[in-house]
Amino acid sequence: MLTLAMAGSSAAQADTQDDKPFEFGVISQRSPLLTAQYWNPILIYVSKISGVPLRLRVGKSGVETNAMINHGTVDFIYSNHIFHPENDGAGYRVIARDGTKAISGQIVVPKASQIRNLKELTGKSVAFPSKVAFVGYMVPILALHEAKVEVVTRFAGNQEGAMGQLASGTAEAIGVNSEVMREFAEREKFAYRVIWSSKPYLSMPIAAKSSVPSAAVEAVRNALIGMKQDPEGRKILETCAKIIGDKSIEGFEPASDGHYEEQKRLYRLVVKMTEKAS
């Protein structure tokens, strides 16, 4: 398979081994194809600017992405799953984040649905992306638990999988990432209604594995953060945004582990809650 190696910064290039690309994992919020269409141009750009060859890795589902993190098979990762307690030993640290200001967890129904609030979801079929999704599962399932609403849970593999179940009527409601849901609805002309929304959370982090040379990590981080300011990078971001139906060009922002303490806390809370329930 073609590597994304490009000529670039000599310092970062020196840290690579035999031009073997670094694996850049991306959580499957959408279909793998759409995910690759969105991320490959970005990674090609970052590889060129940073001199660090990157190769996209996409899991078939959130569970698979979580397994990639857990087993440390990816060098960089774009996912909240690094905050799951079971991935504590994986050794990832946040180096940047998605430029989107904030994301929320939501529970949504089709616009024509009779369901108006969480209580009316009792006994209904509710789909989630996966058991390890943050705003797609952890946040909404906690809300349902606190509202003492028992639902029949389904897992669709990724965000758009759950949206597909909602659109087809397989699920009566779904737990989603507010941004992914908005993009999906615009792209697919799907009308929906939010019956519950969480407080805003910081957007999805990009983390690097501790084993990746710091020069390479820094080069990648700088390339990502500087992308929005670079005309070439901005153009790529515009093109990619159109692919998923997003109109805003947010790019990437600097971030660190400290910005995600709330996510870590929530993950632990839900895991404990689930363990207690089982």
Partner 1 sequence: MNKGSYFNRGKLSLAVRLLIGVGLVMLIVGSLMVIMVLRADIKMEKEQFSRRASEQADFIRMSITEMALVGDYATIRQMLRSRVQDEALDRITWSDDEGKTIKEESKELLDTVPEWFVQFVGITPIIESSVIEVGGAHYGVVTIQMSPTSVVKRIYGRMLIGIESTVFAMVILFSLIAIVTARSLGPLKLLEAAAQEIEKGNYSVRVTPGGSSEVRGPIMAFNAMATQIEVLLGQMRKLAGRMEKAREEQNKSIARELHDSLGGNLTMLKLGLGRLSEIAGEDHKCQPKIKSLLDLSDSTIHLVRDLTAALRPSMLDSLGVLPTIKWYAGEFSRMTGIECQVDLCKDAVCSKEHSTALFRVVQEALTNVARHSNASRVFINACEEEGKLVVEIVDNGKGMAEVINKDVSNGTNSFGIIGMRERTQFMQGEFDISSVPGRGTTVAISIPIGKT
Establish if 60 lies at the interface with partner 1 (CB under 8 A).
yes
Q: Which is nearer to partner 1, 60 or 111 (CB)?
A: 60
One-letter identity of residue 185: A
Q: For residue 138, what are its two tokens?
A: 């952890």
Q: Which is nearer to partner 1, 53 or 105 (CB)?
A: 53
Q: Give the residue from 60, 21, 26, 11 showing the smallest Cα distance to 207.
A: 26
Give the Cα separation of 44 and 68 in Å (integer). Answer: 21
User: Each residue of 34-49: b (16+ CB within 10 Å) or e?
Assistant: bbeebbbbbbebbbbb
Interface pick for partner 1 out of 24, 38, 128, 201 (rule CB under 8 A): 38
DSSP H/E element including 177: strand 173-177
Q: For residue 246, what are its two tokens?
A: 């997003």
User: How many of the chain's residues bind partner 1 (CB under 8 A)?
Assistant: 22
215-254 positions binding partner 1, by CB under 8 A = 240
What is the bridge-based pairing of β-strands 54-58 and 22-26? parallel
Question: Partners of 34 in the beta sheet?
Answer: none
Q: Which is nearer to partner 1, 33 or 112 (CB)?
A: 33
Q: Which is nearer to partner 1, 132 or 240 (CB)?
A: 240
Interface pick for partner 1 out of 6, 11, 15, 31 (rule CB under 8 A): 31
Establish if 36 lies at the interface with partner 1 (CB under 8 A).
yes
Interface pick for partner 1 out of 5, 12, 27, 43 (rule CB under 8 A): 43
Interface pick for partner 1 out of 56, 90, 121, 141 (rule CB under 8 A): 56
Interface pick for partner 1 out of 46, 64, 76, 215 (rule CB under 8 A): 64
In a 13 Å sphere around the CA of 34, the CA atoms on its Cβ side amount to: 19
Part in contact with partner 1 (CB under 8 A); list of ranges 41-49, 86-94, 113-121, 174-182: 41-49
Establish if 33 lies at the interface with partner 1 (CB under 8 A).
yes
Part in contact with partner 1 (CB under 8 A); list of ranges 40-48, 122-130, 216-224, 268-276: 40-48
The residue assigned the tokens 């690759």 is 36
Establish if 44 lies at the interface with partner 1 (CB under 8 A).
yes
One-letter identity of residue 3: T
Q: Tell me how far CA of residue 84 lies from CA of 63, 179, 196, in angstroms.
A: 12, 21, 23
Q: For residue 54, what are its two tokens?
A: 């990157």
Establish if 5 lies at the interface with partner 1 (CB under 8 A).
no
Enumerate binding residues for partner 1 (CB under 8 A).
Answer: 1-2, 4, 31-33, 35-41, 43-44, 56-60, 64, 240
